[in-house]
Amino acid sequence: MSSTGGEIQASPYKALLALFCLWILQCVVKVIYRLYFHPLARFPGPKLAAASFLYEGYYDVIKRGKYVHRIEEMHGQYGPIIRINPQELHVYDPTFYDSVYSGSGKWEKPSYHVHSIDQGVSAFGTVDHDHHRLRRGALNKFYSKQKVNALQHVIQNLANKLCDKLEPYCNTGTPIDFEGAFGDFTLDAIAEYTIDSNMGLLERDGFDGDLRKTFRGLGEVGHIAKIFPWVMTFLNSLPKWLLLAANPNIKVLLDWDDTCLRIAHHLLRTNPDETKEHPTVLREIIADPDLGASEKTPKRLMFEAKTLLNAGTGTVAWTLTTAIWYLTANPDIRARLRAEILTVMPDPRKPVKFQELEQLPYFTAVLKESLRLGYGATLRSARAAPDRALQYKDWTIPPGTPVSITISHMHHNPDVFPDPMRFNPERWLGDPEERHRLERSFVPFSRGTRNCLGSNLAWCELYIMVSQCVLRMDLEPFETTLEHVEMYSDMIVSEPKRWKEGPRFLVKSVINY
């Protein structure tokens, strides 16, 4: 009896041991397949990267967003095309960019890239080409240059409000977190544009780094979710109080969820013919006849709005912060820019249309250089051609293979941009042929059918906000260096080495006209 009982008690442990052994065997077989029999097995790169996503996870999760730099090192060792994980190829060659991001035919996103940001519910996170085209089509018209031009008064009012809030800090010796200040501006702008609900951040007292912490925290989760796709689903299933207990910095994101969901419910109950001061993105989606009922549920509208808020806040705020840093660090550039803006806008209290500002060649050069070095989104965004092979030199890339080219590698390439880490607007003022050569490698908003939806809005915000800052006040960096500005880590948004302190500035004087 005792012997039989012992066998009965031991059987669960034997079963667990057998399952563990099967799992180990499965892992071994998978690694052998990836290294020797996978369609990408012949492409160069580290064997560890080809064997497991954990190699990428080590650099992005453990070492905090450093895989972008490791990839560049790998290119130096293995050549211009390498295998960077079990499924994906990476190319270090600006001439191949358009073949991946602007080529004709169907293009899809790999699901593991979607998991790092989204759950496949928004247009940005949609994997399938045709489904993405349907969702994106409902948004494209609203983010057209014509629509942005018609609504630029919203941006101008918010820019004036931010400057009015900054001016009382003049000669107080109080440093201002400008990434936080610009985050308040961009979030209020994109919220009013998207959901017709100003977040009121510019109305509150002071500025803080909540948004900076929030977006870097989102990057931490995104890197984990790329390796372990179930993470986002699991986190979204947890109660709000538990998430806040684990990480109080995500409160702003959870508040966005609540606000977007509440507004989605409200708009679905509202008469679509009701007159509003200006149209918004969610209203356009609800009114679009090409979208079925499943595309207009409160949850999907909430995800679409939330994704647009995420994408349009930290990215533009970081480019604005970068621009102000380089302008304050280079007084000659700032003086020349101010003189040029004054030719069309002698009084910043009487602003001109942003179409006039974008005709100023030096201003445009300054903003391009700010975007080249201060690109907001740093995430590696791969594309896959599901129905055809791609050809890169002597390499045939199998159909369905994710291929990526990183923005920072494009913008920092010394063969295209000599002395690439130097802020030099003059590089954009050369002859037309040289400018065209630079433009081919200038991709802050990506290209093609999956490019940045809000690029026109971003340009409008940059022209209006920078012109107001340059004309209305003199700023001075406060304990801020390049280590507070240059990209050190890829946390989906750019993260400098000393990101926790944030780039801070003093308002030294207010300029009267």
User: Which residue ranges are tagged as binding site?
Assistant: 452
Q: Are residues 54 and 29 located together in one domain of the fold?
A: no
Q: Are residues 56 and 20 located together in one domain of the fold?
A: no
Q: Are residues 68 and 155 located together in one domain of the fold?
A: yes
Q: Are residues 489 and 415 located together in one domain of the fold?
A: yes
Q: Which pair of structure tokens corresponds to residue 72?
A: 């560049």
Please tell me what DSSP assigns to residue 70. Answer: H
**From residue 408, how far is each of 412, 413, 474, 483 by CA, in Å?**
6, 8, 30, 16
Phi/psi for 390 (5° steps) reads: -110, 150
Q: Are residues 491 and 427 located together in one domain of the fold?
A: yes
Please tell me what DSSP assigns to residue 405. Answer: -
Q: Are residues 75 and 23 located together in one domain of the fold?
A: no
Residues in the chain predicted with pLDDT less than 70, given as ranges, are 1-10, 116, 272-278
Q: Are residues 5 and 88 located together in one domain of the fold?
A: no
In the chain, the N- to C-terminal Cα span, in Å, equals 100
- Residue 42's contacts (CB-CB under 8 Å, 6 or more residues apart) are none
Domain range spanning residue 4?
1-37
Q: Are residues 32 and 163 located together in one domain of the fold?
A: no
pLDDT digits (tens, 9 = 90+) for 361-375: 999 999 999 999 999
Burial tier of 72 (Cβ tally within 10 Å: 0-12, 13-18, 19+): middle
Whether the CB-CB separation of 511 and 345 falls below 8 Å is answered with: no
Which runs of consecutive H residues, i.e. helices, occur in 118-250? 129-140, 145-150, 152-166, 178-195, 210-227, 230-237, 240-246
Q: Are residues 317 and 332 located together in one domain of the fold?
A: yes
As a whole number of angstroms, the distance between CA 326 and CA 315 comes to 17
Report the domain count for the chain.
2
Cβ neighbours, 10 Å, residue 178: 26
Q: Are residues 55 and 77 located together in one domain of the fold?
A: yes
| Helix 298-329, helix 178-195: angle, nearest 10 | 150
**CA nearest neighbour of 111 among 370, 338, 329, 402:** 402
Does residue 454 come out as left (phi exceeding 0), alpha (psi in the -120 to 50 range) or beta? alpha
Confidence at residue 207, expressed as pLDDT on a 0 to 100 scale: 84
Q: Which pair of structure tokens corresponds to residue 281?
A: 């993105």
Q: Are residues 360 and 219 located together in one domain of the fold?
A: yes
Q: Which pair of structure tokens corresponds to residue 343?
A: 């030719």
Q: What is the CATH number of the domain that holds 190?
A: 1.10.630.10
Q: Are residues 344 and 309 located together in one domain of the fold?
A: yes
Whether the CB-CB separation of 236 and 168 falls below 8 Å is answered with: no
Confidence at residue 491, expressed as pLDDT on a 0 to 100 scale: 92
User: Which residue ranges are tagged as binding site for heme?
Assistant: 452
